[in-house]
Structure 1
């Protein structure tokens, strides 16, 4: 992977992390389309640049994240992230195996798109319009819904937003809570990938892969910077779209993208 390819993947990450289209699927497809060899560093890079996207949420919503008097806010996020941490650790190897096969990911992309076409009409009477009104129980349940995103192509954002709406949140509130929940979730995933996980081929930890060469470290830093800038723009754009149009545009996009990618990878195995 060269610098231009690293920037392209980071742009894709920033654009797709917080919208319900699956950033993992899009990064995998981008890598395949541009012929980027999927070695251990590329796998690490695709996960670790989520750190830049995390910072976008923290910066945009800094008043909530640094209001230490709101202990319930931190408690809800801490409890909501537990299911993903436990199941993510248990199924890490199986998830990696699926990441190497784009066909099922494209299929999941299509199925998720069909779900999004009908999601606005499914939950007619939301009762929670503010984050402060989300109970601990509701937050934990949304965290369980988030676990559906362990199947690449599902989208962490889509799973947690649907979970929020199922718990009575308005679509705007569900989207914002999904952003908040992404911070501890992706911070944990990035920390695990950098410091705890041993990569199969190289048998190195993530930080060892980064320091293996100056280029690796530079690409990591550039990738996170690009993902941060693009994610800031994408979050504002996404909130505007769902307020005006709901989730149908994302559903149609997923179906079209999934079909095209399914055709592409079927013809180019």
Structure 2
């Protein structure tokens, strides 16, 4: 695996992890175009997402610290924050464990990604149009029912190309959460989800990973972290003002181009 491919894939991950266009889908399509496919590519794609997750911890460290201290002290805000993140993660933990073999198979299908990008794009346009009035303006203010509901919708993102952030954000919007809070909740849910996925993948591949592969993962991790630091702040500011329609049209365009290219092979 050349350095240029590692840098490119790290850039793609950092740019797409937190916007509703599917980072996994983009990595699969990029890998197909660059000839980087198979078991090693799946491991690389999953683990470098930890770099983007670290960016969330860095950007929101004060929020996490306050929530942790609040939980220890038994304060309502801290308890509600941790509860809602845990409840949003629970459905993915359970359903992901059951459906893992099917998920792994789909990770090797660029055609599934292309179709999911298109379908997801139209879904975003529809939800933006019909979403209920926003009455929830912080993660702490979400009810436990809303947190579980968003977690269940997040399970759709196990299909590569659907987008984990897209599913959680659209799920939250449809349940009355405002745009900024929906985006931030998606960031926070990414931490346990991707930690669990990466830990499972690294454990299963622990004997197969060679030194060069660890080097590639390390470089991809750093690149995705640096790029994601910029994207997180930009994304929250953008969607607070303009919504998600630009990402929907981007998904439809990229998915259509990829579908035509794949079917023309």
Matched length: 256
What CA distance in whole angstroms lies between the structure 2 residues aligned with 1:90 and 1:163? 22
1:131 aligns with 2:139: yes
User: Which of 240, 246, 249 is matched with 2:246 structurally?
Assistant: 249
Stretches of structure 1 that go unaligned for 5 or more consecutive residues are 198-205
What CA distance in whole angstroms lies between the structure 1 residues aligned with 2:89 and 2:132? 27
Q: Contact 2:132–2:173 at 8 Å: present in 1 too? A: no
- Name the SS of the counterpart of 1:91 in structure 2: helix
- Name the SS of the counterpart of 1:207 in structure 2: coil
Partner of 2:159: 151
| Normalised TM-score (structure 2) | 0.93
- Name the SS of the counterpart of 2:207 in structure 1: helix
Which one is further off, 183-192 or 112-121?
Answer: 112-121
Partner of 2:113: 105
Q: Contact 1:76–1:139 at 8 Å: present in 2 too? A: yes
Which one is further off, 13-22 or 89-98?
Answer: 89-98
Task: Quote the RMSD (CA, aligned, Å).
Answer: 1.3
Stretches of structure 2 that go unaligned for 5 or more consecutive residues are 71-77
What CA distance in whole angstroms lies between the structure 2 residues aligned with 1:62 and 1:39? 36
Q: State the 1:266 CA deviation.
A: 1.0
What CA distance in whole angstroms lies between the structure 1 residues aligned with 2:81 and 2:208? 35
Partner of 2:213: 216
Partner of 1:3: 3
1:188 aligns with 2:196: yes
What CA distance in whole angstroms lies between the structure 1 residues aligned with 2:206 and 2:200? 10
What CA distance in whole angstroms lies between the structure 1 residues aligned with 2:127 and 2:237? 18
List structure 1 segments (4+ residues) > 3 angstroms apart after TM superposition. none
5 Å-filtered alignment, 1:45-124, equals 45-67=44-66, 68=68, 69=70, 70-124=78-132
Q: C-alpha offsets along residues 241-263 of structure 1, whole Å, 9 cap, x if unaligned?
A: 21221111001100100110001
| Normalised TM-score (structure 1) | 0.91
